[in-house]
Amino acid sequence: MSNGKALVYNQEKCTGCRSCVVGCSLYHDGECGKVVSRVAVVRNERFGESFVVGCDMCTDAPCAAVCPTGACAMDTVAGITKINAEKCIGCKECAMACPFGVINMHYKTGKAFKCDLCEGRDAGPVCADWCPSGAITYTSPNIAFKAKRRVKLMERLEAVKAGEEG
Amino acid sequence: MYGWAGQRLRVDLSTGTITKEPLSYEYRRKWIGGRGFNSDIIYNEVPANLDPFDPKARVCFGVGPVSGTAAPSTGRVTVTCKSPLTGGFGDSNMGGHWGAELKYAGYDQIVVQGRAKHPVYIWVDDDKVEIRDARHLWGKFPREADQMIKEELGDEDIHIVLIGPAGENMVRFACTFNDVWRAAGRTGHGGVIGSKNLKGIAVRGSGTVKIANPKAMMDVCNRLRQTFKPDPMKIGLYEFGSLCLINVANRDGWFPWRNFQGGAHPLANNMSGETHAKTVLKHREGCFACPICCGRFTHIKEGKWAGEEFGGPEYEHAVPTGPRVGIIEDANDIWHNARLTNDYGMDGIETGGVISAAMEWYEKGLITTKETGGLELEWGNAEVVDKLIPMIATRKGFGAILAEGADRASDKLGLGDKGHYYTLTTRGMTLPGDDPRGLGFGYGLSFAMGTRGGCDHLRSLCCLELSGALYPGLNTKILGDERPNKPVTTVGKPYMVFYEENQKATTDCLQVCCFTTHWSYAVLTPDQVEYLNAVTGLDFTEEEFQEIGERVYNLERAYWARQMSGAREDVVPERFTTEPMPQGVDFQTNVGVVFPLSEMLKKYYKYREYEPGTGFPGERKLKQLGLDYVAKDLAPLRSKYLSESEKKKKKYYY
């Protein structure tokens, strides 16, 4: 994984604001829109639920495994799966294979595109940088998992304590 | 074209005609978008004597050049019509994601006119626009209709504007929602939409907004997003929603207790944002591209209403059907009432305003259970409020009278001047839950001068007097004077209101959220000009930015002038100018304050260049703003307004 860091998504915190979506599309395509964003937000307004869906940078990536031309492949230097637009034939296999639905076809080129962790951006991926609620963080997964473990344990502990008092 | 989509969609429901009209460069530059486009249409196409429910009336939905872009909070939509509540100019503004979606579909504005033969909804699928049957959706709550339309169209990711049952029944203060919960609450356009037999507008946009200078846009947006992170107002709004105001309002004495009989209450904390977050908050919600995310989603866990869920509430939505009608002990009653006004599709402020007026009439003996159909309208009677809200929405019994709005209800009941004393309205619309005796004299002035009637905390949103303490030096930076940073003073306020009204008008034309510009002040005018230019590739200046706001503001004022509303109507409810603020809690800071409106009016008129006698926009100013045709319209009306017969008329609505 790139610098040992990854995008970590915390669905409980996602407000569905799509700050990530506009940032992503502006940074990569110079225009703003959901259709050119590498990260997506799914909103369930009636129930007040929102979810952020971005590339999880699979170690054994299905998108790379199904690519017939080698356009979608692990970049061994960056440590992430990338799509080489020159080799891409627009067959959509990777988009269908992705278990999360985070690969899309570009409306202008007809080729597949996916998250590249905002390669070259000093402040890291724009989605994490702009996320107002902390639903997307760019961090070492190990640190994120440790923190989550602690939060969840404390919550359970609180519940137990409250139960004892009540 | 950069920024704008460049076209207006016009739907005539009588004939089923759908037209797309290009918007010229000159037009876009003159009005920018959203509120500007809408106000122009309403002024030109909806004459003064037309009934707001007439099929010929228009209702407009506008977005701006930066809608759908990466600038902070670009999801707003302005909905404008001739208000059935006030009879004058009426617009309201909502968040959510619909505005951005409309832009992605390729439109800057939708204008709806005519009346369909049966209930319909409009489906905008990029270029393809159709009018579809909505008979099966009639009578449904927005949350139900939203789901039914999504299932019917086979896409859960579309965004839909909807009205509730109150809009269908043409309640004069019915409102519009998008994304189920984001309401454009005020002035009653929900009823106008209902009068057109229109249930909603579903939109799917698969385009993008083109940015003229992406690098400059990225730079300014990066900078602004960082500015928000440590901002104290952002943090308060994110953590507690706009309910974070409750405890502040209670301390500074602008908490609307019992129809503004008081300004503070010892139990206010029961409904504070802090309490809400601890007890009933299910989730935080964000409108499009928002760095703040003040939206709430509430799940009531205990008591009679356990299990109820709804989006919201926010401050102005929660207080009217809560403390304003005397409910404070069990906050679940307040959340429940907010849920009701949402589901039935009514403006929470007006609903609380009209019920609290009725309660005060009842208290003062102006009405009895004979008029109310047996309802005992005692302060804090949550059971009665729970019954009354659906009765208003469906126009049943006493509810049918209240559905006309406070001032009309007072006249229907024949209560005379006494009745109007307790309606707490200006130009026919109830004031929001902010008492100018505590919130600030700038706000009070704004209530008298707002171009959509009895509001308006959102016309100037002069938080400079409120957040002054949080941002030392801000007043000097914006107004060149630090003195106006205290709420309960008059010094510098007329200019503050004048400046902020113009600023806010252009912000509404851009259709960005004023919480980024007038609450947190993380985004100032130079920043807005910077991102507007980065998006459009044009060369707007700060002066032009302010001038556009001034143009929009004067046009709206002229709309009122055209129907004989001017200086005589620039008032606030007498309660604020005559009754000294009583003590509600011992730490209250504004005991004994009365609101000195007349001190500020003269100066404000000078900044605006309104004519001293009539209060109409001045001819020189109108011409300077490129509104010669408006000046021509108003010229013959001046002597009429000053005539003795006009002077005798007491007008509460138009």
Residues of chain A contacting residue B63, judged by C-beta atoms under 8 Å apart:
none
How many domains does chain A fold into? 1
> Is pLDDT above 70 for B584?
yes
Would the pLDDT of B603 be above 90?
yes
CA nearest neighbour of A102 among A132, A127, A133: A127
Distance CA B324, CA B302 (A): 23
pLDDT at site A1: 46
pLDDT in tens, B525-536: 999 999 999 999
Range of the domain at A81: 2-165
Phi-psi region of B33 (alpha: psi -120 to 50; beta: other; left: phi over 0): left
Distance CA B542, CA B477 (A): 14
**Pick the residue with more confidence: B55 or B647?**
B55
Say what percent of chain B tops pLDDT 90.
Answer: 94
Ordered by where they begin, the domains of chain B are 7-204 (3.60.9.10), 232-425 (1.10.569.10), 436-521+541-572+595-642 (1.10.599.10)
CA-based end-to-end distance of chain A:
47
Note the pLDDT tens digit of each residue in B448-480: 999 998 777 788 888 899 877 788 899 999 999
Helix (H, G, I), strand (E, B) or coil at B271: helix
Q: How many CB atoms lie within 10 A of CB B22?
A: 9
* Cβ-contact B319, B434 below 8 angstroms: no
pLDDT at res. B156: 95
Comparing alpha-carbon positions, the chain A residue that sits nearest to B69 is: A32
- Residue closest to B339 by CA, chosen among B483, B470, B461, B181: B181
Query: What φ, ψ does residue B298 adopt, rounded to 5°?
Result: -110, 140
Residues 15-44 of A with CB under 8 A from B: 15-19, 21-23, 25-27, 29-36, 42-44
B287 touches chain A (CB under 8 A): yes
Q: Quick check: B289 and A29 CB within 8 A?
A: no
- d(C-alpha B126, C-alpha B105), whole Å: 4
| Interchain contact, A17 vs B293, CB within 8 Å | yes
Q: Taking residues B144-173, what's their average pLDDT? A: 97
Mutate to test the interface with A, among B225, B309, B310, B515 (most CBs of A within 10 A): B225
Partners of A21 on chain B (C-beta within 8 Å) are 289
The answer, yes or no, to whether residue A143 has pLDDT greater than 90, is no
**Per-residue pLDDT at B297:** 97
Question: What are B184-214's pLDDT values in tens digits?
Answer: 999 999 999 999 999 999 999 999 999 999 9
Mean pLDDT, all residues of chain B: 96
Q: Which A residues in the span 63-122 are in contact with B, Cβ-Cβ below 8 Å?
A: 107
pLDDT at B141 over 50: yes
Phi and psi dihedrals of B540, rounded to 5?
Answer: -65, 145
- Residue B193 Cα to chain centre, angstroms: 17
Q: How far apart are CA B389 and CA B341, in angstroms?
A: 7
pLDDT band at A2 (very low <50, low <70, confident <90, very high): very low
Q: How confident is the model at residue B121 (pLDDT cuts 50, 70, 90)?
A: very high
Least reliable range by pLDDT among A152-156, B133-137, B418-422: A152-156
The closest CB to that of A33, out of B104, B218, B228, belongs to B104
Mean per-residue pLDDT, B171-189: 95
Asked if the C-beta of B150 comes within 8 angstroms of chain A's C-beta atoms, the answer is no
Q: Is A136 helix (H, G, I), strand (E, B) or coil?
A: strand
The pLDDT of residue A166 is 58
With contact defined as beta carbons under 8 Å apart, do B392 and B399 qualify? Answer: yes
Q: Which amino acid is at B147?
A: Q
What does the DSSP 8-state code read for residue B296? E
Output the six-digit token pair for A93: 């296999």
DSSP 8-state class, residue B186: G
How far apart are the C-alpha atoms of B489 and B591, rounded to whole Å? Answer: 14
CA distance B565 to B548: 23
pLDDT (average), residues B604-611: 96
Position A3 confidence tier, pLDDT thresholds 50, 70, 90: low
Cα B354 from Cα B402, distance rounded (Å): 6
Sign of CA dihedral B123, B124, B126, B127: positive
Q: What is the CATH number for A142?
A: 3.30.70.20
Could you say which of A26, A36, A50 has the minimum Cβ distance to residue B70? Answer: A26
Question: What percent of chain B clears pLDDT 70, i.e. is strictly above it?
Answer: 100
List, in sequence order, every beta strand (DSSP E) within B385-486.
425-426, 429-430
Q: Average pLDDT of chain A?
A: 93
Structure-token pair, residue B537: 């590739």
Asked if pLDDT for residue B242 goes beyond 70, the answer is: yes
Taking only the tens place, the pLDDT of each residue in B316-372 is 999 999 999 999 999 999 999 999 999 999 999 999 999 999 999 999 999 999 999
Cβ contact A35–B291 (<8 Å):
no
pLDDT tens track for B263-297:
999 999 999 999 999 999 999 999 999 999 999 99
- What does the pLDDT look like over B142-156, one tens digit per residue? 999 999 999 999 999
Assign residue B407 a region: left if phi > 0, alpha if psi is -120 to 50, beta otherwise? alpha
